[in-house]
């Protein structure tokens, strides 16, 4: 559903699977060398996702232990996510469901010449509340989440990213590929995604636009969500989708 300021300001590949962890590094002021103007240690974001019979809200961030989100080193991240959805029950009545999800992970990033690659592992918690609960294929679970990402970085006219994650909690997965074209402070391009869990499988075909406003970027995306034969019991049906995300780097 996403952590390098130069790329964020041009492409905003804000993954729906990250969030800030409360770590701090202590040092005496006299021992600290001022960071360059383009060096950022933290990215925070908040967003909303919409599709027929479902709405999601999320907030997250990432922190670089070495103080530079563009360099090689350890990163800490996590995310809070809330989804509310409706569905048709086996008795043809209206059902209602909510998913509250939180994950936190630690990983390592390799920063190369024009690209970055990272791998994370952590804990994922999912709390599911469905009425009637007999129609739910999901359970309250804690699992292992693994996330990988590779993307272009720096001044490029064709920003690209490929990222995804898998959680053993309800066998949840998500992956997305993007390629864009940058016009000064605007980047636009297509996106392809697959996502699902024990209750549904789906893929998405759409596009995105990212507007850079200095240390703040606004991303909009939209397209078609194909439930890939799922019965809609988890709120996943064929429909259009859309979303908006604000990212802050500092």
Helix (H) or strand (E) holding 60: strand 54-64
Of 3.30.470.10, 3.40.50.2300, 2.60.40.10, 2.40.160.40, the CATH number of 5-249 is 2.40.160.40
> pLDDT of 143-179, one tens digit each?
999 999 999 987 889 999 999 999 999 999 999 999 9
Note the pLDDT of residue 21.
32
- Residue 188: beta bridge partners? 181, 209
Residues whose CB is less than 8 angstroms from the CB of residue 22 and which lie 6 or more positions away in sequence, other chains included: none
State which residues of the chain have pLDDT below 50.
1-36
Which residue shows structure tokens 């006219």? 157
Q: What is the pLDDT of residue 44?
A: 97
Smallest CA-to-CA distance from 123 within 100, 99, 147, 139 is with 147
3-state secondary structure of 10: helix
pLDDT, residue 16, reads 32
SS3 140: coil
DSSP letter at 113 equals: S
Element housing 160 (H / E): strand 160-167
- pLDDT at residue 88 in the model: 74
pLDDT at 229: 60
């Amino acid at each position: 559903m996403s952590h390098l300021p130069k790329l964020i300001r041009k492409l905003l590949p804000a993954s729906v699977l990250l969030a800030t962890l409360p770590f701090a590094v202590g040092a005496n002021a006299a021992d600290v060398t001022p960071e360059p103007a383009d060096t950022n240690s933290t990215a925070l974001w908040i967003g909303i996702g919409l599709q027929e019979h479902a709405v999601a809200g999320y907030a997250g961030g990432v922190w670089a232990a070495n103080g530079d989100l563009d360099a090689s080193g350890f990163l800490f991240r996590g995310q809070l996510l809330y989804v509310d959805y409706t569905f048709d029950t086996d008795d043809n009545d209206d059902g209602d469901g909510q998913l509250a999800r939180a994950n936190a992970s630690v990983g390592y990033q390799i920063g190369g010449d024009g690209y970055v690659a990272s791998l994370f592992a952590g804990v994922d918690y999912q709390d599911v509340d469905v009425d009637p609960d007999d129609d739910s294929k999901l359970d309250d679970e804690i699992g292992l989440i693994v996330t990988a990402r590779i993307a272009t970085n720096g001044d490029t006219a064709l920003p690209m990213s490929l990222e995804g994650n898998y959680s053993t909690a309800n066998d949840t997965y998500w992956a997305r590929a993007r390629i864009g074209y940058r016009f000064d402070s605007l980047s636009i391009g297509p996106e392809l995604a697959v996502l699902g869990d024990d209750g549904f499988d789906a893929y998405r075909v759409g596009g995105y636009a990212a507007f850079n406003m200095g240390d703040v970027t606004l991303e909009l995306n939209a397209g078609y969500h194909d439930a890939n034969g799922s019965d809609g019991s988890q709120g996943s049906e064929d429909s259009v989708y859309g979303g908006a995300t604000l990212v802050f780097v500092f």
